[in-house]
Amino acid sequence: MEAKIILNCKTYEQATGEKALALAGICQEVADESGAEIIMCPQYADIHRISSELDIPVYGQHIDSIGFGSNTGHVLPESVKDAGAVGCLINHSERRLKLADIEANIKKLRELGMVSVVCTNNINVSRSAAALNPDYVAVEPPELIGSGISVSQAQPEIITGSVAAVKEVNPQVKVLTGAGITTGVDVSKAIELGTQGVLLASGVTKAEDPKAVLKDLVSNI
Ligand code: G3P
């Protein structure tokens, strides 16, 4: 089964700088051994090093809807692409955006040939995001983020509801889910509920043995 596992590094210490590179190496080993598609979303400063030293696909965590010019401190989409990212999260719960910026970011990523993943927090927002035509909508109930309680076990209805709403609005858009995902069972349940994969962070970044967790995560796909 084709499913995506997207590992968001956020700003976890265990996934910053040298440690991000080491973790990306582990992701690549597990991806190579299992044939699973594992994607990493490091911090901006780590994108170039990971993408130039390894083959694992890298996505950004955020972009700003600005162009070249005088925009000090902003994240230029072209620069994220140039650093080696092939996709980007948009509107993560920890980096919410205005609707107009979400739409602009989706268009910009498409123009740059990059994959867009719009994060949403409920079924209605998933429906609205699908209307903007991203490649993926990733539904994540904020209260379960970082909780270790899996969305696919605790709130299956938000997943099935989002899958149905997205399909109704725009059948081209694929659905991912995240929040509290830590095991292969969480992943296979998410897939059974109609998603094309998961977005996760703490289950791997904070694990004592990230490789063992990653191997388990891909064990049923
Ligand atoms: O971007 C993934 C995320 O928000 C889920 O976080 O720590 O619950 O896997 P976590």
Q: What is the mean pLDDT of residues 199-213?
A: 98
Find the 150 Cα to ligand 1 centroid distance in Å.
10
Query: What token pair was written down for 36?
Result: 């699973």
Which pLDDT does position 172 carry in this prediction? 96
pLDDT > 80? residue 31: yes
With bands split at pLDDT 50, 70 and 90, how would you rate the model's confidence at 221? confident
pLDDT > 80? residue 33: yes
d(Cα 4, Cα 103) in Å, to the nearest integer? 23
Percent of residues, the chain, with pLDDT higher than 70: 100
Total-model pTM = 0.97
Find the 35 Cα to ligand 1 centroid distance in Å.
23
> Quick check: CB of 145 below 6 Å from ligand 1?
yes
Dihedral, 156, 157, 158, 163 alpha carbons, nearest 10: 100
> Quick check: CB of 197 below 6 Å from ligand 1?
no
Which pLDDT does position 1 carry in this prediction? 54
Percent of residues, the chain, with pLDDT higher than 90: 98
CA 141 to chain centroid: 14
pLDDT > 60? residue 183: yes
Domains of the chain: 4-217 (3.20.20.70)
> Quick check: CB of 200 below 6 Å from ligand 1?
yes
Find the 69 Cα to ligand 1 centroid distance in Å.
33
Q: What does DSSP assign to residue 39? A: E
The rounded mean pLDDT for the chain is 97
Residue 199 CA: nearest ligand 1 atom is: 2
> Quick check: CB of 140 below 6 Å from ligand 1?
yes
Residue 94 CA: nearest ligand 1 atom is: 4
Q: What is the mean pLDDT of residues 198-214?
A: 98
- For CA atoms 120, 89, 92, 70, the dihedral sign is negative
Q: For 47-99, how does the pLDDT look when each residue is reduced to its tens digit (9 = 90+)?
A: 999 999 999 999 999 999 999 999 999 999 999 999 999 999 999 999 999 99
Query: What token pair was written down for 146?
Result: 């970082």
CA atoms within 13 A on the CB side of 186: 25
Find the 140 Cα to ligand 1 centroid distance in Å.
8
Q: For 7-26, how does the pLDDT look when each residue is reduced to its tens digit (9 = 90+)?
A: 999 999 999 999 999 999 99
- Name the residue at shortest CA distance from atom 2 of ligand 1: 200
**Of 10, 93, 204, best ligand 1 pocket probe by most atoms within 8 Å of the beta carbon:** 10
> Quick check: CB of 3 below 6 Å from ligand 1?
no
Which amino acid, one-letter code, is at 52?
S
d(Cα 73, Cα 43) in Å, to the nearest integer? 14
Which pLDDT does position 2 carry in this prediction? 76
Q: Of 106-110, 197-201, 217-221, which gets the smallest average pLDDT?
A: 217-221
Which pLDDT does position 115 carry in this prediction? 98
Residue 148 CA: nearest ligand 1 atom is: 8
CB atoms within 10 A of CB 96: 12
> Quick check: CB of 199 below 6 Å from ligand 1?
yes
